[in-house]
Amino acid sequence: MDQGRIAELRDLPVPPARHLIDGAPVAASDGGEMEVRSPLNGAVLTRMAKGTRADADSAVAAARRAFDGGVWAGLAPSARKAVMLKWADLIERNALELAVLGVRENGTEIGMALKAEPMSAAATIRYYAESIDKLYGEIAPTAPGTLGLVHREPAGVVGAIVPWNFPLMIGAWKLGPALAAGCSVVLKPAETASLTLLRIAELALEAGLPDGVLNVVTGPGSDVGAAIAESMDVDVLVFTGSGPTGRRLLEASARSNLKRVYLELGGKSPNIVFADAPDLDEAVKVAANGIFRNAGQVCIAGSRLLVERSIHDTFVEKLAAFTETMKVGDPLDPGTACGAVNSQAQLERNLAFVEEARAQGRTIATGGSRILTETGGYFMAPTVVTGVQPDDRIVREEVFGPVLAVQAFDTEDEAVALANGTDYGLAAAVWTADLSRAHRMVRRIRAGLVHVNTYGGSDLTVPLGGVGQSGNGHDKSLHAFDKYLDLKTAWIKL
């Protein structure tokens, strides 16, 4: 990693950001702007357009014109593929600049950011580009004298609303398959993580994506997001974020054109360690990284640790000791293991969960406070809370910060009951040397992704999606195309 280049990039002024609509930068319709504050020091990084409903409507209209005009959907698959491959190359070529800009905006440690943001986005765009000319229709097994054909057609205009924790990675999970399918997109980034998505949209135009096919509107979800969700010209809505917002999007669909809505709403994922785990020290390290990297701001974060009682005290002691070796601080320092919390509001929310647990008599094994206040940034010590109970809010609700709740269990059945004792069902993990137990647990745990003797790291070949109140639909893998393609039957008499 070029630390000299990082040092150059970290202090570069960031010009004010505007929407990208119909291929051009556009100010908010009422001239409104909002501050973008860096979580590294609390200072204003830049300003960006504070979008309005009129701005969102303008972007949707551009996307509709582009789709109906066939400037993208009407191209040969090989032509769309060439543009997307060039786009992926441009993202990769600008990876370090994108990563540093993203770190300055949302606080992810640079080692993770470079891999998980621009490099991941480039790989995702490339994956779906390579898939474009490999999606076939079907011939139905009909009776003689008829021919049944099943066509796959782009669904139309897609509204995509993405969060602040990994904007490029999660954004690419939406943009890759949507654009590969031939759809046009209106993208609404989070208010605290818009800059890198605006930049890769500019790179898409440089790669040859036609005007209006990808539009980006920044601003409050209450205005921009709501307008996209309520639009009669948006055919599919995809969202990663909170449960309350997801519910409002479903209501907006019902009030408007009954657009399809696909939601990834986070989780409260259990990481289950049995006494026969093949390597307890490895389990400790992975458990810590599974919750504390990116300051716990990861959808699949292993925020609940379930440990078999016979090893509970030893495991917690090892975990606390390892956690205290993790370097918290400047996310642009390659040695940092846990970066900044995204915003002052999120930091205060994290601390409130810990204070409530403390008031309930739970034990703070390590961490539990704001640190590095002299920087002006939003930093929190990685926190391990033990002695929690199933009904505690810290066990049942997603904190989305570097806070780990630890529970003990005695039997496999109890572990399953604790693991499933949540409204969420996004991810989970099981540590055991017993192959039969591993398979049983995979089948019994209600989650869209279950790791065995690891946590995180699944690639694009497998889908990611949740059950319960973690949402519906899937990102990643070829299954993601299901959201952006319609099936059309042709029934032909011969």
pLDDT in tens, 135-171: 999 999 999 999 999 999 999 999 999 999 999 999 9
In tens, the pLDDT along 10-25 reads 999 999 999 999 999 9
Residues in contact with 300: Cβ distance below 8 Å, sequence separation at least 6, in sequence order: 267, 269, 426, 427, 449, 456, 464
Q: What are phi and psi of 260, to 5 degrees?
A: -70, 140
* Residue 88 pLDDT: 98
Give the tokens for residue 196.
């890198």
Q: Which of 46, 342, 22, 60 is nearest to 225 (CA)?
A: 60
Q: Give the pLDDT score at 1.
A: 78
Q: How far is CA 161 from the centre of its chain?
A: 10
Backbone φ and ψ for 243, nearest 5 degrees, come out as -60, -50
**Cβ atoms of residues 276 and 366 within 8 Å:** no
Partners of 35 in the beta sheet?
47
Q: What is the pLDDT of residues 349-402, one digit of tens each?
A: 999 999 999 999 999 999 999 999 999 999 999 999 999 999 999 999 999 999
User: Which domains does the chain carry?
Assistant: 3-265+471-493 (3.40.605.10), 270-459 (3.40.309.10)
Give the Cβ contact number of residue 491 at 10 Å.
10
Structure tokens at 10: 């970290």
- By the 8 A CB rule, do 183 and 155 touch? yes
Residue segments in the chain with a per-residue pLDDT below the cut of 50: none
d(CA 159, CA 187): 6
Q: Among 164, 187, 215, which residue's Cα sits nearest to residue 38? A: 164
CA dihedral 388→393→399→401, nearest 10 degrees, is -30
d(CA 271, CA 428): 6
Q: Residue 353 burial (CB < 10 Å; 0-12/13-18/19+)?
A: buried
Helices (H), 267-380: 280-292, 309-323, 344-359
CA distance 96 to 207: 19
Rounded-to-integer distance, Cα 72 and Cα 273, Å: 49
Contact 118, 99 (CB under 8 A): yes
SS3 262: strand
Dihedral sign of CA atoms 274, 430, 340, 405 in order: negative
Task: Quote the CA–CA distance of 99 and 84 in Å, as a whole number.
Answer: 20
Q: What b-and-e string marks burial along 235-250, b requiring 16 or more CB atoms within 10 Å of the CB? A: bbbbbbbbbebbebbe
**Crossing angle of the two packed helices 412-419 and 435-444, in degrees rounded to 10:** 30
0.95 exceeded by pTM: yes
What is the DSSP-derived secondary structure letter of residue 483? G
Provide the angle, in degrees to the nearest 10, between the axes of the packed helices 120-131 and 77-93: 170
> Is residue 278 within 8 Å of 311, Cβ to Cβ?
no
Q: Please tell me the predicted confidence (pLDDT) of residue 12.
A: 96
Contact 465, 482 (CB under 8 A): no
Active site (catalytic) residues: 264
What value does the CA radius of gyration of the chain take, rounded to a whole number of Å?
A: 23
Three-state DSSP at 119 gives helix
| Element of type H or E holding 60 | helix 53-69
Relative orientation angle of helices 167-180 and 77-93, to the nearest 10 degrees: 160
Q: What angle do CA 483, 489, 494 make, to 5 degrees?
A: 160
